[in-house]
């Protein structure tokens, strides 16, 4: 699977800065003129939720939004209440992006550090109050909203050093994804109607550190998560189901319900659910039992394989 990557430029509107320069004569010739606006150049690494064209190219969809935060001082230390940019919502209209409130540099020379979050934090209830410890709750019924992407730029750009005033933000997935593929023994005659595929006893809440792009699951809150049927099954499979998941350990069991009967697969160890990776579980369903093909954990390109296993009703 090829790594998919796309770049989209965000033209971010901003007010003009007051140009007060304190540069010494030694630096005047080496410093570029201060940029008038903050602009953000974004890219999305690994597998992404953006739309994909027939030719394989990818793009954001109209009405997509990101939240942008910026601060000065030190890259790993900031006062949340003194952010230079505090949750500026950038909205895409299909051609350009518009920021609200407008983003601007604090001054010409200070180094700025940036965090971007997708989907944007547009609701008061979802507002971030701590960029190093934000609460997350999985909503399996809203896969797009649950698929959290985070970007950081801690290089320390300023109004005079950012190329053309542009700051790069590369977004990565920080949640995990589970895909369950189903094949059926010939004893079924044809593909049966599957009522549900469920990830049993999985963590659904977590704490997110946007600065470090890390996720810590809340082990106390566990639920049964219904996976969503994919419109197009993965290659050589009869049916495929998937869901965004909280990265976690201690997840073992998948339940398939057919004709009112539950077929349960329990792995001997953890079924790995890792940040920025997707785990694929291939199951072969008979009328009496489920056999495991294999479990693969992929960093959107490659991963390890767990062989063996069997499920019973």
Q: What is the pLDDT of residues 158-190, one digit of tens each?
A: 999 998 778 888 888 999 999 999 999 999 999
Phi and psi, residue 149, nearest 5°: -115, 140
Phi and psi, residue 163, nearest 5°: -55, 110
SS3 state at 225: strand
Tokens encoding 286: 């008979």
**pLDDT (tens place) for every residue of the chain, 313 residues total:** 333 333 333 333 232 223 323 333 343 444 556 666 777 766 666 444 445 444 444 456 788 899 999 999 999 988 888 899 999 998 877 776 778 998 899 999 999 999 999 999 988 878 899 999 999 999 999 998 999 999 999 999 999 999 877 888 888 899 999 999 999 999 999 999 999 999 999 999 999 999 999 999 997 779 999 999 999 999 999 999 999 999 999 999 999 999 999 999 999 889 999 999 999 999 999 998 999 998 888 875 433 333 333 334 4
Parallel/antiparallel/unpaired status of strands 166-173 and 39-44: parallel
Which residue stretches of 137-294 are H helix? 143-146
Q: What is the CA 230 to chain-centroid distance, rounded?
A: 19
Quick one: which of 89, 129, 82 has its CA closest to 106? 82
Helix, strand, coil in percent for the chain, rounding step 5:
5, 45, 45
């Amino acid at each position: 699977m090829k790594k998919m990557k796309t770049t989209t430029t965000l033209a971010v509107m901003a007010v003009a800065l007051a140009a007060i320069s304190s540069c010494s004569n030694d630096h005047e010739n080496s410093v570029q003129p201060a940029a008038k606006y903050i602009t953000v150049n974004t890219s999305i690494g690994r597998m992404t939720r953006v739309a994909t064209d027939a030719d394989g190219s990818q793009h954001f969809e109209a009405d997509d939004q990101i939240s942008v935060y910026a601060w000065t001082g030190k890259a790993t230390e900031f006062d949340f209440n003194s952010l230079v940019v505090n949750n500026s919502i950038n909205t895409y209209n299909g051609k350009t992006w518009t920021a609200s409130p407008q983003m601007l540099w604090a001054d010409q020379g200070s180094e700025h550090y940036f965090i971007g979050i997708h989907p944007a934090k547009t609701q008061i209830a979802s507002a971030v109050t701590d960029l190093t410890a934000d609460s997350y709750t999985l909503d399996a019924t809203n896969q797009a909203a649950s698929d959290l992407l985070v970007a950081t730029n801690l290089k320390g750009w300023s109004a005079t050093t950012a190329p053309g005033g542009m700051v790069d933000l590369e977004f990565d997935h920080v949640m995990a994804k589970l895909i369950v593929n189903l094949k059926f023994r010939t004893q079924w005659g044809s593909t049966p109607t599957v009522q549900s595929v469920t990830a049993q006893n999985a963590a659904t809440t977590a704490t997110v550190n946007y600065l470090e792009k890390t996720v810590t699951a809340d082990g106390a809150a566990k639920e049964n998560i219904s996976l969503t049927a994919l419109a197009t099954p993965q290659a050589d499979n009869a049916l495929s189901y998937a869901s965004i998941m909280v990265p976690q350990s201690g997840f073992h069991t998948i339940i398939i319900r057919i004709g009112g009967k539950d077929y349960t697969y329990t792995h001997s160890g953890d079924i790995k659910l890792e940040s920025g990776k997707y785990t694929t579980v291939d199951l072969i369903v008979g009328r009496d039992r489920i056999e495991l093909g294999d479990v693969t954990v992929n960093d959107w390109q490659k991963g390890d394989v767990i062989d063996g296993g069997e499920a019973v009703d």
